[in-house]
């Protein structure tokens, strides 16, 4: 599973799962374009990618992924720099929890903008060069909450469920051009997003997992690498659950 000569665009690459994905792809030979708003954190990711493989190329492309023009600008810049895009990973995400009776309109908008609409923008932008290349792989980062729902996370859950529908629709739209579109649904993963989770909730989810532990960002990044690879060459429109057995 090597990606020599391949180029990957990763949103939300400043930390957590996005950072792990960048490191994993870089270690296996890919040049990585790191996208997000926090330039300093993205530079830290770039340094880690450079350490993951001698000669690895990791470059920072700052953008607000909720801005369609900004996302299209990043893709244009990446094409100018690398002349191709083989993998696009829509990983940018945010969670704001609230009971539906207390959900503010701006919270709903924020969840849809960051978690769902940003993926639309990235997919539309990378589809053009991938269609010309007649090949590529897109991976959308959803969540098991988008499959099961969760009290207090209606907006987050709905935005993540939307990604599953987007995945299936794009797989049908782009399959004839040899572009595969899949999604990954993590469960409890040790990231900054889950650090503030109440201890009781963390303990409950850990006990629900058949493997008896929380996952790591690397548990997710290796699945993303598989979906990008030729080993998954006949896999499209699928959502792979990476949750240690919580949803069984």
Q: What is the CATH number of the domain that holds 132?
A: 3.40.50.720
Mean pLDDT over 58-62 rounds to 97
Considering the domain boundaries, does residue 162 fall inside one?
yes
Residue 2 lies in a domain: no
The verdict on residue 136 lying in a domain is yes
CA neighbours within 13 Å on the CB side: how many for 241?
14
pTM, full prediction: 0.95
Which residue range is the domain that position 209 belongs to? 7-242
What proportion of the chain, given as a percentage, has pLDDT over 90? 88
User: Do the domain assignments include residue 248?
Assistant: no
Give the pLDDT of residue 200.
75
Reduce the DSSP state of residue 142 to 3 states and report it: coil
Q: For 148-180, what is each residue's pLDDT tens digit?
A: 998 889 999 999 999 999 999 999 999 999 999
pLDDT at 197 over 90: no
DSSP structure class, residue 153? B
Would you say 226 and 184 are in contact if contact means Cβ atoms under 8 Å apart?
A: no
- Domain-embedded: residue 45: yes
| Domain presence at residue 53 | yes
Whether 114 maps to a domain, the answer reads: yes
User: Is 204 part of a structural domain of the chain?
Assistant: yes
Number of compact structural domains in the chain: 1
- CA separation for the pair 54, 116 (Å, rounded): 35
Q: If we measure between CA atoms, which residue out of 18, 238, 247 comes closest to residue 149?
A: 247
Length reported for the chain: 248
Catalytic residue ranges = 156
């Amino acid at each position: 599973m090597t990606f020599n000569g391949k180029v990957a665009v990763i949103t939300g690459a400043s930390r957590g799962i996005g950072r792990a994905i960048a490191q994993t792809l870089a270690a296996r030979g890919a040049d990585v374009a790191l996208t997000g708003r926090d330039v300093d954190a993205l530079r830290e990711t770039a340094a880690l990618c450079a350490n993951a493989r001698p000669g690895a190329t990791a470059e920072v492309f700052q953008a607000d992924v909720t801005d369609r023009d900004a996302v299209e600008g990043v893709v244009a810049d990446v094409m100018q720099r690398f002349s191709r895009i083989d993998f696009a990973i829509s990983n940018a995400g945010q969670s704001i929890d609230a009971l539906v009776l207390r959900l503010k309109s701006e919270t709903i908008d924020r969840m849809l903008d960051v978690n769902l609409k940003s993926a639309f923008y990235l997919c539309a932008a990378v589809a053009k060069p991938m269609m010309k290349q007649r090949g590529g792989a897109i991976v959308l980062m959803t969540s098991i909450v988008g499959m099961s729902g969760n009290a207090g996370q209606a907006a987050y859950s709905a935005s993540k469920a939307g990604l599953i529908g987007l995945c299936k629709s794009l797989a049908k739209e782009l399959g004839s051009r040899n572009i595969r579109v899949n999604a990954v649904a993590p469960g409890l993963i040790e990231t900054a997003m889950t650090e503030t989770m109440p201890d009781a909730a963390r303990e409950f989810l850990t006990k629900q997992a058949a493997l008896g532990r929380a996952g790591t960002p690397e548990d997710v990044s290796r699945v993303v690498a598989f979906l990008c690879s030729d080993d998954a060459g006949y896999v499209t429109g699928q959502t792979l659950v990476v949750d240690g057995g919580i949803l069984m």
